[in-house]
Protein backbone atom coordinates (compact mmCIF):
# COMPACT_ATOMS: atom_id res chain seq x y z
CA UNK A 1 0.00 0.00 0.00
CA UNK A 2 2.90 2.36 0.79
CA UNK A 3 4.38 1.62 -2.66
CA UNK A 4 1.03 2.45 -4.25
CA UNK A 5 0.81 5.88 -2.62
CA UNK A 6 4.51 6.58 -3.30
CA UNK A 7 4.09 5.70 -6.99
CA UNK A 8 0.88 7.73 -7.18
CA UNK A 9 2.46 10.78 -5.53
CA UNK A 10 5.57 10.58 -7.74
CA UNK A 11 3.36 10.18 -10.81
CA UNK A 12 1.27 13.24 -9.94
CA UNK A 13 4.38 15.35 -9.29
CA UNK A 14 5.99 14.23 -12.56
CA UNK A 15 2.80 14.68 -14.57
CA UNK A 16 2.13 18.10 -13.05
CA UNK A 17 5.63 19.31 -13.93
CA UNK A 18 5.46 18.02 -17.51
CA UNK A 19 1.94 19.34 -18.15
CA UNK A 20 2.93 22.74 -16.75
CA UNK A 21 5.97 22.84 -19.07
CA UNK A 22 3.88 21.86 -22.11
CA UNK A 23 1.05 24.30 -21.46
CA UNK A 24 3.45 27.12 -20.55
CA UNK A 25 4.95 26.73 -24.03
CA UNK A 26 1.53 27.42 -25.58
CA UNK A 27 0.86 30.21 -23.06
CA UNK A 28 4.15 32.06 -23.52
CA UNK A 29 4.11 32.07 -27.34
CA UNK A 30 0.39 32.98 -27.44
CA UNK A 31 1.08 36.03 -25.27
CA UNK A 32 4.06 36.98 -27.47
CA UNK A 33 1.80 36.77 -30.54
CA UNK A 34 -0.75 39.12 -28.94
CA UNK A 35 -3.39 36.49 -28.11
CA UNK A 36 -5.43 37.02 -24.94
CA UNK A 37 -5.18 33.96 -22.68
CA UNK A 38 -8.30 33.56 -20.54
CA UNK A 39 -7.32 30.49 -18.53
CA UNK A 40 -4.19 28.45 -17.79
CA UNK A 41 -5.27 25.14 -16.25
CA UNK A 42 -3.30 22.20 -14.90
CA UNK A 43 -5.83 19.37 -14.84
CA UNK A 44 -9.43 19.05 -15.97
CA UNK A 45 -12.79 19.24 -14.23
CA UNK A 46 -13.66 21.11 -11.04
CA UNK A 47 -11.11 23.68 -9.87
CA UNK A 48 -9.50 23.04 -6.48
CA UNK A 49 -7.50 26.28 -6.64
CA UNK A 50 -7.79 29.36 -8.82
CA UNK A 51 -6.35 32.85 -8.99
CA UNK A 52 -6.66 35.67 -11.50
CA UNK A 53 -3.35 37.35 -12.30
CA UNK A 54 -2.68 40.97 -13.08
CA UNK A 55 -2.53 39.97 -16.75
CA UNK A 56 -6.23 38.99 -16.58
CA UNK A 57 -5.48 35.26 -16.99
CA UNK A 58 -7.17 32.85 -14.60
CA UNK A 59 -4.71 30.27 -13.24
CA UNK A 60 -6.33 26.97 -12.19
CA UNK A 61 -5.47 23.65 -10.56
CA UNK A 62 -8.24 21.15 -11.33
CA UNK A 63 -9.40 17.83 -9.89
CA UNK A 64 -8.38 15.47 -12.73
CA UNK A 65 -4.58 15.74 -13.15
CA UNK A 66 -4.35 13.85 -16.46
CA UNK A 67 -3.76 16.87 -18.67
CA UNK A 68 -4.18 20.61 -18.92
CA UNK A 69 -5.11 23.38 -21.32
CA UNK A 70 -4.65 27.01 -22.23
CA UNK A 71 -7.97 28.70 -23.08
CA UNK A 72 -7.42 31.50 -25.56
CA UNK A 73 -9.84 34.08 -26.88
CA UNK A 74 -11.32 32.56 -30.04
CA UNK A 75 -14.31 33.64 -32.15
CA UNK A 76 -14.93 30.04 -33.21
CA UNK A 77 -15.72 29.14 -29.60
CA UNK A 78 -17.51 32.21 -28.22
CA UNK A 79 -18.64 35.72 -29.08
CA UNK A 80 -15.77 38.19 -28.81
CA UNK A 81 -16.29 41.93 -28.23
CA UNK A 82 -15.20 44.10 -31.16
CA UNK A 83 -12.50 45.74 -29.06
CA UNK A 84 -10.86 42.37 -28.33
CA UNK A 85 -11.12 40.71 -31.74
CA UNK A 86 -7.54 41.60 -32.60
CA UNK A 87 -6.46 39.46 -29.63
CA UNK A 88 -8.40 36.38 -30.77
CA UNK A 89 -6.43 33.27 -31.74
CA UNK A 90 -8.36 32.79 -34.97
CA UNK A 91 -7.45 36.34 -36.13
CA UNK A 92 -3.70 35.58 -36.10
CA UNK A 93 -1.94 34.62 -39.31
CA UNK A 94 -1.26 30.96 -40.00
CA UNK A 95 2.43 31.11 -39.03
CA UNK A 96 1.57 32.62 -35.65
CA UNK A 97 -0.97 29.88 -35.07
CA UNK A 98 1.62 27.27 -36.04
CA UNK A 99 4.08 28.83 -33.58
CA UNK A 100 1.53 28.80 -30.73
CA UNK A 101 0.47 25.18 -31.30
CA UNK A 102 4.00 23.81 -31.80
CA UNK A 103 5.26 25.65 -28.70
CA UNK A 104 3.82 22.98 -26.38
CA UNK A 105 5.83 20.01 -27.76
CA UNK A 106 8.89 22.24 -28.17
CA UNK A 107 8.61 23.20 -24.49
CA UNK A 108 8.68 19.49 -23.62
CA UNK A 109 11.92 19.01 -25.58
CA UNK A 110 13.44 22.10 -23.94
CA UNK A 111 12.38 20.84 -20.51
CA UNK A 112 14.11 17.51 -21.22
CA UNK A 113 17.33 19.41 -21.98
CA UNK A 114 17.01 21.37 -18.72
CA UNK A 115 16.32 18.21 -16.68
CA UNK A 116 19.26 16.35 -18.22
CA UNK A 117 21.48 19.41 -17.79
CA UNK A 118 20.71 19.41 -14.07
CA UNK A 119 21.24 15.65 -13.91
CA UNK A 120 24.70 15.77 -15.48
CA UNK A 121 25.64 18.84 -13.48
CA UNK A 122 24.84 16.93 -10.26
CA UNK A 123 26.50 13.77 -11.55
CA UNK A 124 25.16 10.28 -12.32
CA UNK A 125 26.85 7.15 -10.90
CA UNK A 126 27.17 4.65 -13.74
CA UNK A 127 28.82 1.40 -14.72
CA UNK A 128 30.86 1.13 -17.90
CA UNK A 129 29.27 -1.15 -20.53
CA UNK A 130 31.67 -4.09 -20.20
CA UNK A 131 31.04 -7.61 -21.54
CA UNK A 132 32.80 -10.78 -20.41
CA UNK A 133 31.04 -13.18 -22.78
CA UNK A 134 28.55 -13.49 -25.61
CA UNK A 135 25.58 -15.85 -25.98
CA UNK A 136 25.77 -18.68 -28.51
CA UNK A 137 23.24 -18.52 -31.34
CA UNK A 138 22.76 -14.75 -31.11
CA UNK A 139 23.97 -11.97 -33.45
CA UNK A 140 26.72 -11.04 -30.97
CA UNK A 141 28.18 -14.57 -30.88
CA UNK A 142 30.78 -13.57 -33.48
CA UNK A 143 32.44 -11.15 -31.03
CA UNK A 144 35.61 -12.79 -29.68
CA UNK A 145 35.85 -12.20 -25.92
CA UNK A 146 39.24 -13.21 -24.45
CA UNK A 147 39.18 -10.52 -21.76
CA UNK A 148 36.60 -7.97 -20.55
CA UNK A 149 35.62 -5.69 -23.47
CA UNK A 150 34.01 -2.29 -23.18
CA UNK A 151 31.33 -1.37 -25.73
CA UNK A 152 32.48 1.89 -27.31
CA UNK A 153 29.74 2.56 -29.87
CA UNK A 154 26.55 1.11 -31.34
CA UNK A 155 26.03 2.17 -34.93
CA UNK A 156 27.23 5.76 -35.12
CA UNK A 157 26.32 6.46 -31.48
CA UNK A 158 29.10 6.51 -28.88
CA UNK A 159 27.94 4.96 -25.59
CA UNK A 160 29.12 5.57 -22.04
CA UNK A 161 26.92 3.22 -19.97
CA UNK A 162 24.48 0.33 -20.33
CA UNK A 163 21.48 2.64 -20.53
CA UNK A 164 22.91 4.25 -23.67
CA UNK A 165 23.77 0.83 -25.15
CA UNK A 166 20.21 -0.32 -24.56
CA UNK A 167 18.79 2.87 -26.07
CA UNK A 168 21.03 2.66 -29.15
CA UNK A 169 20.24 -1.03 -29.75
CA UNK A 170 16.50 -0.35 -29.43
CA UNK A 171 16.80 2.05 -32.35
CA UNK A 172 18.12 -0.79 -34.53
CA UNK A 173 15.24 -3.22 -33.94
CA UNK A 174 14.05 -4.30 -37.37
CA UNK A 175 17.32 -3.34 -39.12
CA UNK A 176 19.33 -5.83 -41.19
CA UNK A 177 22.59 -5.20 -39.32
CA UNK A 178 24.15 -3.17 -36.56
CA UNK A 179 27.77 -2.11 -36.08
CA UNK A 180 29.25 -2.51 -32.59
CA UNK A 181 32.71 -1.31 -31.58
CA UNK A 182 34.45 -2.77 -28.52
CA UNK A 183 37.86 -2.37 -26.90
CA UNK A 184 39.72 -4.26 -24.15
CA UNK A 185 39.01 -2.63 -20.81
CA UNK A 186 42.64 -3.08 -19.78
CA UNK A 187 44.07 -0.99 -22.64
CA UNK A 188 41.64 1.64 -23.85
CA UNK A 189 44.14 3.69 -25.82
CA UNK A 190 42.08 4.97 -28.72
CA UNK A 191 41.45 3.53 -32.17
CA UNK A 192 44.38 1.09 -32.00
CA UNK A 193 42.55 -1.02 -29.40
CA UNK A 194 39.07 -0.77 -30.94
CA UNK A 195 37.56 -3.77 -32.69
CA UNK A 196 34.62 -3.25 -35.05
CA UNK A 197 31.97 -5.91 -35.63
CA UNK A 198 28.98 -5.87 -37.98
CA UNK A 199 26.27 -8.02 -36.47
CA UNK A 200 23.71 -9.69 -38.73
CA UNK A 201 20.30 -8.83 -37.23
CA UNK A 202 18.06 -10.07 -40.05
CA UNK A 203 16.64 -12.77 -37.76
CA UNK A 204 16.91 -10.74 -34.57
CA UNK A 205 13.42 -11.15 -33.19
CA UNK A 206 12.60 -10.70 -29.53
CA UNK A 207 9.92 -9.36 -27.21
CA UNK A 208 11.08 -6.07 -25.57
CA UNK A 209 8.55 -6.76 -22.81
CA UNK A 210 10.42 -9.91 -21.73
CA UNK A 211 14.08 -9.07 -22.28
CA UNK A 212 16.43 -6.17 -22.91
CA UNK A 213 17.95 -5.54 -26.35
CA UNK A 214 21.37 -6.01 -24.68
CA UNK A 215 20.76 -9.63 -23.73
CA UNK A 216 18.56 -10.37 -26.75
CA UNK A 217 21.40 -9.49 -29.13
CA UNK A 218 23.73 -11.70 -27.09
CA UNK A 219 25.97 -9.36 -25.07
CA UNK A 220 26.98 -10.99 -21.79
CA UNK A 221 27.13 -8.09 -19.34
CA UNK A 222 29.94 -8.30 -16.83
CA UNK A 223 28.61 -8.73 -13.32
CA UNK A 224 30.54 -9.01 -10.05
CA UNK A 225 30.84 -12.51 -8.60
CA UNK A 226 27.76 -13.63 -6.66
CA UNK A 227 28.57 -14.87 -3.15
CA UNK A 228 26.59 -17.57 -1.26
CA UNK A 229 25.74 -15.12 1.54
CA UNK A 230 22.13 -13.87 1.58
CA UNK A 231 21.95 -10.07 1.48
CA UNK A 232 18.17 -9.73 1.71
CA UNK A 233 15.41 -12.00 3.00
CA UNK A 234 11.81 -10.86 2.65
CA UNK A 235 9.87 -11.32 5.88
CA UNK A 236 6.72 -12.16 3.89
CA UNK A 237 8.53 -14.55 1.53
CA UNK A 238 8.78 -18.31 1.85
CA UNK A 239 12.39 -18.11 3.06
CA UNK A 240 11.60 -15.50 5.72
CA UNK A 241 8.65 -17.51 7.03
CA UNK A 242 10.83 -20.61 7.23
CA UNK A 243 13.38 -18.79 9.38
CA UNK A 244 16.16 -17.80 6.96
CA UNK A 245 17.92 -14.51 7.76
CA UNK A 246 20.10 -12.00 5.96
CA UNK A 247 23.72 -13.05 6.50
CA UNK A 248 23.03 -16.78 6.25
CA UNK A 249 25.50 -18.61 4.00
CA UNK A 250 24.01 -21.16 1.58
CA UNK A 251 25.60 -24.59 2.01
CA UNK A 252 23.26 -27.18 0.45
CA UNK A 253 19.77 -27.82 -0.94
CA UNK A 254 18.23 -31.26 -0.37
CA UNK A 255 21.70 -32.44 0.74
CA UNK A 256 23.17 -31.37 -2.62
CA UNK A 257 26.10 -28.98 -2.14
CA UNK A 258 25.45 -25.36 -3.21
CA UNK A 259 27.68 -24.50 -6.18
CA UNK A 260 26.43 -21.34 -7.87
CA UNK A 261 23.58 -18.86 -7.62
CA UNK A 262 22.12 -19.48 -11.09
CA UNK A 263 21.71 -23.22 -10.39
CA UNK A 264 20.09 -22.38 -7.03
CA UNK A 265 17.62 -19.98 -8.70
CA UNK A 266 16.73 -22.53 -11.39
CA UNK A 267 16.01 -25.14 -8.72
CA UNK A 268 13.80 -22.72 -6.76
CA UNK A 269 11.88 -21.73 -9.91
CA UNK A 270 11.27 -25.38 -10.78
CA UNK A 271 10.01 -26.21 -7.28
CA UNK A 272 6.87 -24.10 -6.84
CA UNK A 273 4.80 -25.63 -4.04
CA UNK A 274 7.43 -28.32 -3.32
CA UNK A 275 9.25 -28.40 0.02
CA UNK A 276 13.05 -28.00 -0.14
CA UNK A 277 15.55 -28.59 2.69
CA UNK A 278 17.92 -25.60 2.59
CA UNK A 279 21.06 -25.84 4.71
CA UNK A 280 22.80 -22.62 5.74
CA UNK A 281 25.69 -21.66 7.98
CA UNK A 282 24.85 -19.09 10.67
CA UNK A 283 27.40 -18.00 13.26
CA UNK A 284 29.47 -21.09 12.49
CA UNK A 285 26.53 -23.47 12.98
CA UNK A 286 24.82 -25.51 10.25
CA UNK A 287 21.02 -25.18 10.17
CA UNK A 288 18.55 -26.95 7.85
CA UNK A 289 15.11 -25.44 7.19
CA UNK A 290 12.17 -26.65 5.12
CA UNK A 291 11.26 -23.97 2.58
CA UNK A 292 8.29 -24.27 0.20
CA UNK A 293 8.62 -21.81 -2.73
CA UNK A 294 5.54 -19.76 -3.46
CA UNK A 295 4.12 -19.69 -7.01
CA UNK A 296 4.07 -16.70 -9.32
CA UNK A 297 3.51 -16.20 -13.03
CA UNK A 298 6.58 -15.15 -15.02
CA UNK A 299 6.73 -12.95 -18.14
CA UNK A 300 6.05 -16.00 -20.34
CA UNK A 301 2.86 -16.77 -18.41
CA UNK A 302 4.28 -19.87 -16.72
CA UNK A 303 4.26 -20.56 -12.97
CA UNK A 304 7.62 -20.52 -11.20
CA UNK A 305 8.81 -20.78 -7.61
CA UNK A 306 10.06 -17.84 -5.57
CA UNK A 307 11.28 -17.68 -1.95
CA UNK A 308 12.10 -13.96 -1.53
CA UNK A 309 15.89 -13.80 -1.13
CA UNK A 310 18.71 -11.86 -2.78
CA UNK A 311 22.44 -12.69 -2.71
CA UNK A 312 25.49 -10.67 -1.78
CA UNK A 313 27.81 -9.71 -4.64
CA UNK A 314 31.40 -8.61 -4.75
CA UNK A 315 32.03 -4.90 -5.22
CA UNK A 316 32.32 -3.53 -8.75
CA UNK A 317 35.96 -3.08 -9.82
CA UNK A 318 37.05 0.56 -9.61
CA UNK A 319 37.98 0.67 -13.31
CA UNK A 320 34.36 -0.14 -14.23
CA UNK A 321 32.74 2.53 -12.08
CA UNK A 322 32.34 6.07 -13.34
CA UNK A 323 30.64 9.33 -12.45
CA UNK A 324 28.94 10.98 -15.43
CA UNK A 325 29.47 14.53 -14.21
CA UNK A 326 30.29 17.53 -16.36
CA UNK A 327 30.94 21.23 -15.99
CA UNK A 328 28.53 24.12 -16.53
CA UNK A 329 29.19 24.28 -20.29
CA UNK A 330 29.82 20.61 -21.05
CA UNK A 331 26.65 19.52 -19.23
CA UNK A 332 24.58 21.48 -21.72
CA UNK A 333 26.25 19.82 -24.72
CA UNK A 334 25.79 16.35 -23.21
CA UNK A 335 22.14 17.10 -22.32
CA UNK A 336 21.48 18.32 -25.85
CA UNK A 337 23.01 15.17 -27.34
CA UNK A 338 21.10 12.88 -24.95
CA UNK A 339 17.81 14.64 -25.74
CA UNK A 340 18.46 14.18 -29.45
CA UNK A 341 19.12 10.45 -28.83
CA UNK A 342 15.80 10.13 -26.98
CA UNK A 343 13.91 11.99 -29.71
CA UNK A 344 15.53 9.95 -32.48
CA UNK A 345 14.91 6.57 -30.83
CA UNK A 346 11.32 7.51 -29.91
CA UNK A 347 10.48 8.41 -33.52
CA UNK A 348 12.10 5.17 -34.68
CA UNK A 349 10.01 3.18 -32.19
CA UNK A 350 6.80 4.81 -33.48
CA UNK A 351 7.82 3.91 -37.02
CA UNK A 352 8.52 0.33 -36.00
CA UNK A 353 5.10 0.12 -34.32
CA UNK A 354 3.52 1.19 -37.60
CA UNK A 355 5.56 -1.33 -39.65
CA UNK A 356 4.95 -4.12 -37.15
CA UNK A 357 8.59 -4.59 -36.11
CA UNK A 358 7.42 -3.86 -32.55
CA UNK A 359 4.15 -5.16 -31.15
CA UNK A 360 1.49 -2.85 -29.69
CA UNK A 361 1.85 -5.03 -26.57
CA UNK A 362 4.84 -2.84 -25.73
CA UNK A 363 2.76 0.32 -25.40
CA UNK A 364 2.69 1.60 -21.83
CA UNK A 365 0.01 3.65 -20.09
CA UNK A 366 -0.33 5.67 -16.90
CA UNK A 367 0.13 2.68 -14.57
CA UNK A 368 3.54 1.83 -16.02
CA UNK A 369 4.49 5.50 -15.98
CA UNK A 370 3.44 5.77 -12.33
CA UNK A 371 5.58 2.74 -11.45
CA UNK A 372 8.52 4.25 -13.32
CA UNK A 373 8.04 7.57 -11.53
CA UNK A 374 7.93 5.88 -8.13
CA UNK A 375 10.96 3.69 -8.80
CA UNK A 376 13.11 6.54 -10.13
CA UNK A 377 12.09 8.90 -7.32
CA UNK A 378 12.88 6.17 -4.80
CA UNK A 379 16.43 5.78 -6.15
CA UNK A 380 17.27 9.48 -6.08
CA UNK A 381 16.91 12.94 -7.61
CA UNK A 382 19.26 12.40 -10.56
CA UNK A 383 17.33 9.32 -11.68
CA UNK A 384 14.01 11.13 -11.27
CA UNK A 385 15.35 13.93 -13.47
CA UNK A 386 16.32 11.37 -16.11
CA UNK A 387 12.84 9.84 -15.92
CA UNK A 388 11.24 13.29 -16.32
CA UNK A 389 13.40 13.94 -19.39
CA UNK A 390 12.39 10.63 -20.99
CA UNK A 391 8.66 11.13 -20.37
CA UNK A 392 8.84 14.78 -21.44
CA UNK A 393 10.38 13.79 -24.79
CA UNK A 394 7.71 11.14 -25.30
CA UNK A 395 4.95 13.59 -24.35
CA UNK A 396 6.28 16.06 -26.91
CA UNK A 397 6.46 13.43 -29.63
CA UNK A 398 2.99 12.02 -28.91
CA UNK A 399 1.54 15.53 -29.18
CA UNK A 400 3.18 15.91 -32.60
CA UNK A 401 1.41 12.86 -34.02
CA UNK A 402 -0.92 13.97 -36.84
CA UNK A 403 -4.12 13.12 -34.97
CA UNK A 404 -6.59 16.03 -35.13
CA UNK A 405 -7.22 16.06 -31.35
CA UNK A 406 -3.49 16.53 -30.69
CA UNK A 407 -1.19 19.46 -31.45
CA UNK A 408 0.13 17.54 -34.46
CA UNK A 409 -3.38 17.35 -35.94
CA UNK A 410 -3.86 21.12 -35.64
CA UNK A 411 -0.44 21.65 -37.23
CA UNK A 412 -1.45 19.35 -40.09
CA UNK A 413 -4.50 21.54 -40.78
CA UNK A 414 -2.41 24.73 -40.62
CA UNK A 415 0.22 23.40 -43.02
CA UNK A 416 -2.58 22.44 -45.43
CA UNK A 417 -3.72 26.06 -45.10
CA UNK A 418 -0.19 27.25 -45.89
CA UNK A 419 -0.15 25.11 -49.06
CA UNK A 420 -3.70 25.81 -50.27
CA UNK A 421 -3.93 29.41 -49.09
CA UNK A 422 -7.24 28.84 -47.27
CA UNK A 423 -8.30 27.18 -43.99
CA UNK A 424 -9.46 23.57 -43.92
CA UNK A 425 -13.31 23.61 -43.88
CA UNK A 426 -14.74 23.30 -40.37
CA UNK A 427 -16.82 20.26 -41.34
CA UNK A 428 -13.66 18.45 -42.47
CA UNK A 429 -11.93 19.46 -39.23
CA UNK A 430 -14.85 18.17 -37.17
CA UNK A 431 -14.77 14.79 -38.93
CA UNK A 432 -11.02 14.67 -38.39
CA UNK A 433 -11.42 15.43 -34.68
CA UNK A 434 -13.88 12.56 -34.30
CA UNK A 435 -11.59 10.10 -36.10
CA UNK A 436 -8.60 11.34 -34.13
CA UNK A 437 -10.44 11.02 -30.82
CA UNK A 438 -11.45 7.44 -31.69
CA UNK A 439 -7.88 6.49 -32.63
CA UNK A 440 -6.46 8.12 -29.50
CA UNK A 441 -9.03 6.35 -27.32
CA UNK A 442 -8.11 3.06 -28.96
CA UNK A 443 -4.38 3.60 -28.30
CA UNK A 444 -5.08 4.57 -24.69
CA UNK A 445 -7.24 1.47 -24.24
CA UNK A 446 -4.46 -0.77 -25.58
CA UNK A 447 -1.91 0.91 -23.30
CA UNK A 448 -4.15 0.51 -20.25
CA UNK A 449 -4.84 -3.13 -21.13
CA UNK A 450 -1.08 -3.73 -21.37
CA UNK A 451 -0.59 -2.02 -17.99
CA UNK A 452 -3.17 -4.22 -16.26
CA UNK A 453 -1.79 -7.38 -17.90
CA UNK A 454 1.64 -6.61 -16.42
CA UNK A 455 0.33 -6.22 -12.86
Q: Catalytic amino acids? A: 23
d(CA 391, CA 411): 22
d(CA 442, CA 169): 29
Q: In the 3-class helix/strand/coil scheme, how is the chain assigned residue by residue?
A: CHHHHHHHHHHHHHHHHHHHHHHHHHHHHHHHCCCCEEEEEEEEEEEEEEEECCCCCEEEEEEEEEEEEEEECCCCCCCCCHHHHHHCHHHCCHHHHHHHHHHHHHHHHHHHHHHHHHHHHHCEEEECCEEEEECCCCHHHHCCCCCCEEEEEECCEECCCHHHHHHHHHCCCCCCEEEEEEEEHHHCCCHHHCEEEEEECCCCCCCCCCCCHHHHHCEEECCCCEEEEEEEECCCCHHHHHCCCCCCEEEEECCEECCCHHHHHHHHHCCCCCCEEEEEEECCEEEEEEECCEEEECCCCCEEEECCEEEEECCCCHHHEEEECCCCCHHHHHHHHHHHHHHHHHHHHHHHHHHCCCCHHHCCCHHHHHHHHHHHHHHCHHHHHHHHHHHHHHHHHHHHCCCCCCHHHHHHHHHHHHHHCCCCCHHHHHHHHHHHHHHHHHHHHHHHHHHHHHC
Write phi, then psi, for 75 (nearest 5 degrees): -70, -20
Amino acid sequence: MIDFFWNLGSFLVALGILIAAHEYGHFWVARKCGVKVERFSIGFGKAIWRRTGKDGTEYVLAMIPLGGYVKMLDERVEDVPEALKSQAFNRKNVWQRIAIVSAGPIANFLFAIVALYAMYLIGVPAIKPVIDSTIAGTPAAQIVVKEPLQVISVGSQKVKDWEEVNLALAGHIGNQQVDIAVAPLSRLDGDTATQQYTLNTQNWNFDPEKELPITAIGLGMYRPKILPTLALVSEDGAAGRAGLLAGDILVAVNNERYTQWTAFVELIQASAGKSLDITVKRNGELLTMAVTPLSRENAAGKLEGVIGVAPTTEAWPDNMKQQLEYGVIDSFAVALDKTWQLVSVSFKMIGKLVTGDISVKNLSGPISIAQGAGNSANVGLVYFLGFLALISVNLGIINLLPLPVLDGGHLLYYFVEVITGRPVPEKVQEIGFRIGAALLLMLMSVALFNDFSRL
